[in-house]
């Protein structure tokens, strides 16, 4: 599962900063459980874990800026666009389902933006620029689609559940925005 999607959901449910801190703590625990070897090896291994780095950066930026929602919106949209264009060079580590999950997360980011950004004071051009960037991401993802497998590596139950949960949570975030 995307740790930022989890952080967004947790913060929606528990409020800020509780949700952010809870997610960060969960990420640290998950990283510690996954790491192997002596203490320094485990520490280095944890530092190499992308989800932990993402959680730390997201938490710090959100807390420093005191605006987790804007950080989440930018993160969710940018993550898809970057991944869509990076797919060419790292196909072995990426797959179609991962890209679909990131696209749905980007849509959740747009739902949050529609709802949470002050569009009275923020120029609509900001929305249109984000839409243009998303469209460019879709363009890039489509170009690389045929080169990607549905599942990278071994199809595991955990990965499948994670993807489904990721998409379900994003759908929930989108639904909450428009209920």
Partner 1 sequence: MTAANAPPRPATIAVAVMLAASVALTGVLARPHPPSLSTNVTGDSALAARALPYLAGALDRVTIATIDGTTVTYAHFGANSDTVYEIGSVSKTFTSLLLADAIARGEVAADTKVGALLPLGDAPAADVTLAELASHRSGLPRVAPTTIKENLLLLTHRSAYTQDVDGLLAVVRGAALRNRGRYVYSDLGFALLGQALAAATRMEYAQLVQERILDPLGMTGTSAPVTAKDLPTDAATGYDAGGAPQKPWAINAWAPAGGMRSTATDMVRYARALLDGTAPGMSALTPRWDGGNGSWVGYAWNTAEVAGRTVTSHGGATAGFCTAIAIDRANQRAVIIMSNTKVPVEQAALTLLVGGH
Residues within the interface to partner 1 (CB under 8 A)? 12-15, 88-89, 91, 110, 114-121, 124, 127-128, 130-132, 134-136, 138-140, 142-147, 176, 179
Q: Would you state the structure tokens that stand for residue 170, as one six-digit string? A: 């994003």
Residue 15 three-state SS: coil
User: In whole angstroms, how close is the CB of 43 to partner 1 at the nearest point?
Assistant: 34
Output 18 or 156, the one with its CB closest to partner 1. 18
Contact 84, 140 (CB under 8 A): yes
| Contact residues for 132 (Cβ-Cβ < 8 A; gap 6+) | none
User: In whole angstroms, how close is the CB of 76 to partner 1 at the nearest point?
Assistant: 15
Residue with tokens 């969960």: 26
Output 126 or 161, the one with its CB closest to partner 1. 126
User: In whole angstroms, how close is the CB of 46 to partner 1 at the nearest point?
Assistant: 30
Output 51 or 114, the one with its CB closest to partner 1. 114
| Contact residues for 170 (Cβ-Cβ < 8 A; gap 6+) | 5, 101, 104, 105, 107, 108
Contact 4, 69 (CB under 8 A): no
Output 31 or 94, the one with its CB closest to partner 1. 94
User: In whole angstroms, how close is the CB of 91 to partner 1 at the nearest point?
Assistant: 5
């Amino acid at each position: 599962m995307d740790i930022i999607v989890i952080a967004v959901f947790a913060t929606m449910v528990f409020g800020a900063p509780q949700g952010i801190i809870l997610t960060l703590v969960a990420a640290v625990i998950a990283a510690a459980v996954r790491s192997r070897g002596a203490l320094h090896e485990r520490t280095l291994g944890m530092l190499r874990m992308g989800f932990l780095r993402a959680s730390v950066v997201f938490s710090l930026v959100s807390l420093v800026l005191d605006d987790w929602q804007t950080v989440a919106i930018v993160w969710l949209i940018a993550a898809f666009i970057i991944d869509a264009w990076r797919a060419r060079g790292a196909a072995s580590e990426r797959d179609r389902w991962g890209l679909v999950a990131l696209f749905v997360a980007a849509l959740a980011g747009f739902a949050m933006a529609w709802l949470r950004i002050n569009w009275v004071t923020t120029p609509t051009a900001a929305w249109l620029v984000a839409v243009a960037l998303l469209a460019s991401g879709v363009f890039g993802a489509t170009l690389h689609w045929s080169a990607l497998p549905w599942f990278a590596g071994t199809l595991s139950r955990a990965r499948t559940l994670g993807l489904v949960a990721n998409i379900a949570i994003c759908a929930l975030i989108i639904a909450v925005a428009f209920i």
